[in-house]
Amino acid sequence: MAIPRQRFTMLFLCTWNAARSIFAEYLMRDLGSDRFDSFSAGVKPRGEVSPITLKVLKEKFQIDASDARSKSWEEFKDRHLDFIVSVSEQAEETSHAFPDKPILAHWPYDDPSLVRGSPGKVESAYFRIASRIRYRLQLFNNLSLRSRWLIAVVSEGFSLCLSKNEKVSRQPKRRSLQRLQVCHDFFNIGIGVLFRKRWHFSFNSALDNQSHVSGADLEL
């Protein structure tokens, strides 16, 4: 008899709650609805989701996000959350304000609303950010969060993950970068779930920034 998977609550936090965190919320609903209840919020919500965000989700990923709304992080400050993922630099500090000691992750992405140019160029920028977020969420959703597996993750993580602020080659092989990213995410999330500590890690995606990978700090 199969054992039901544990469900987790996940909040994606960005500056405006108009693009990046909306992408993350709805892409995770598409990828991991059987395991995660996903939400999003903004530090300074604009009150309106970008129409380009909705268009990209609908046309590129076949996801209807017409019910999405731009809202403040304060709606969730008294709610139990297992994970908070900040997807903008401005949101990272706010992620520490939640009292229930969720596991924190910082996955910053560029703000596509700052891109200027033709409608096609702007839409391409949104699609590029959404695709990167989706790739990261695929890795995250593939995590097995059972304790026995987590112990193996922590053990493997100590031997495979790069130390803090270690530099990597500017032109490493893509496969090596993917393995590095998987390793960091598995290790960081694994140890956080295992010990239920307030775990925060800053990791600029090796696929997005090939010049530097930062390690992790554990707040006890």
| Domain annotation covers residue 20 | yes
User: What per-residue confidence (pLDDT) applies to 100?
Assistant: 80
pLDDT confidence bin for 199, thresholds 50/70/90? very low
pLDDT digits (tens, 9 = 90+) for 167-197: 343 344 444 454 455 555 555 555 555 444 4
**Each residue of 75-134: pLDDT tens digit?**
999 999 988 999 999 999 999 999 888 888 889 999 999 999 999 999 999 999 999 999
Name, in order, each residue with C-beta under 8 angstroms of 50's C-beta and a sequence gap of 6 or more. Answer: 18, 19, 22, 113, 126
pLDDT at 65 over 80: yes
pLDDT of residue 42: 97
Which pLDDT band holds residue 208 (cuts at 50, 70, 90)?
Answer: very low
Q: Does residue 1 lie in a domain region?
A: no
Tokens matching residue 22: 């909306």
Q: Say yes or no to pLDDT of 212 above 60.
A: no
pLDDT for res 161: 42
Identity of the residue numbered 109: Y
Q: What is the pLDDT of residues 150-172, one digit of tens each?
A: 434 443 443 344 333 333 433 44
Domains: count for the chain: 1
Phi, psi torsion values for 80, nearest 5 degrees: -70, 130
Residue 100 in any domain: the answer is yes
Distance set, CA 123 to CA 27, 37, 115, 135, 185 (Å): 17, 28, 9, 18, 29
In CATH, what number is assigned to the domain containing residue 72?
Answer: 3.40.50.2300
Q: Which pLDDT tens digit goes with each residue over 19-58?
A: 999 999 999 999 999 989 999 999 999 999 999 999 999 9
Question: What is the spatial distance between Cα 172 and Cα 178, in angstroms, rounded to a whole number?
Answer: 10
Instruction: Look at residue 171 in the predicted model and tell me its pLDDT.
Output: 41
| Residue at 2 is within a domain | no
Q: What is the pLDDT of residue 160?
A: 42
Tell me what pLDDT residue 9 has: 92
What is the reported pLDDT for 68?
A: 97
Note the pTM of the prediction, 2 decimals. 0.71
Range of the domain at 94: 8-219
